[in-house]
Structure 1
Amino acid sequence: MTKKTPFEGLTDSTSKYTVKEVADKLGMTTYTVRYYDNAGLIPDVGRTSGNIHMFSDLNLTWFKLIHCLRATGLSIDEIRRYIRMCLEGDATISERAEIIFKQEKVLREQLKMLKKQMEILAYKKVYYQELLAGHTTDSCNPQRQDVTEPNIAPKR
């Protein structure tokens, strides 16, 4: 069984989606779709006779990749450079790979930080559940005289 890719089935270059349809399909805002398009990040965008932008399945792959790279902190200029290299072809593979490897590392660091933040929130959730159930008193309210600890993170 082959692993499904995030871009599977998106190879048709026939223009068929409006800005709103792209936004709905990809879970983006229409503002984001327009922004990426107006920034020149989406290659080969079709247009109707009325000059309305129309996007293909292939364009959707660009939107997905760009949105992912932005979420990892890559700047619009860096993304533009990456896309330009993609369009240049095989001569830029090593440079493109370096960008992707770097962004993967950035994302792994973000995941570590999010995991730590989730642990704190999970601890605080249990703390508040206990408070709401009346099983304990609020020991982190600075207005109280008996505050023992800020109850921010689990004791280890």
Structure 2
Amino acid sequence: MIMTIAEVSKKYGLSADTLRYYERIGLIPGVRRKENGIRDYSESDCNWVEFIKCMRAAGIQVEALIEYVALFQQGDDTQEARKQILLEQREQLLARMEDMQRTLARLDKKIAHYDECLRFTEKKLRKHNPSQ
């Protein structure tokens, strides 16, 4: 499976500029080019795109991903260091999820408050205007 940047962009919902940027900073290692300079994304390249997109959607830091990819390219001797990066990012993600859960609970409480206010207002209006 070989794809152009336009095809990869469409498939993964990332702009061509974002893909070029990811390649330039080392998040997508070594995308081959045709003789005319057009990028030729292999299945392996697409796997990197999918991985990076997933990690970025979860809020994983670009710097951590750059370090991870650089270590990956150095080979199997870096497995422990790569695992450590993932563990650290996992902890940060869990903390953000806990913060989001607290925020969600607060939003739910606020929404319930407004629902109660609206019910009270409607009840009051019916008392003053029984024809409704």
If the TM-score is normalised by the length of the shorter chain, which range does it land in? 0.7 to 0.9
Greater Rg by CA? 2
TM-score (norm 1): 0.65
1:60 is the counterpart of 2:33: no
Count of residues in correspondence between the two structures: 120
Provide the residue aligned with 2:77 in structure 1.
Answer: 91
List per-residue Cα deviations over 1:57-90 (Å, max 9, x = no partner).
21122123323444434233x4332212111111
Which residue of structure 2 lines up, in the alignment, with residue 32 of structure 1? 18
Give me the whole-angstrom Cα distance separating, in 2, the residues matched to 1:87 and 1:75.
17
Partner of 1:141: none
Q: Does 1:126 align with 2:112?
A: yes
Identity %: 29
Offset of residue 43 of structure 1:
1.8
Decide which structure has greater helix share.
Answer: 2
Q: CA, structure 1 residues 129+34, in 2 after alignment: closer, same or farther (shift >3 Å)?
A: farther
Segments of structure 1 that go 5 or more residues without pairing to the other structure are 1-13, 138-156
Corresponding position of 1:75: 62
TM-score scaled by length of structure 2: 0.75
CA contact (8 A) 1:86 1:96 kept: yes
Deviation at 1:93, TM superposition (A): 0.8
Runs of 4+ in 1 over 6 A off after TM superposition: none
- Alpha-carbon spacing, 1:48–1:130, altered in 2? closer, same or farther (3 Å): farther
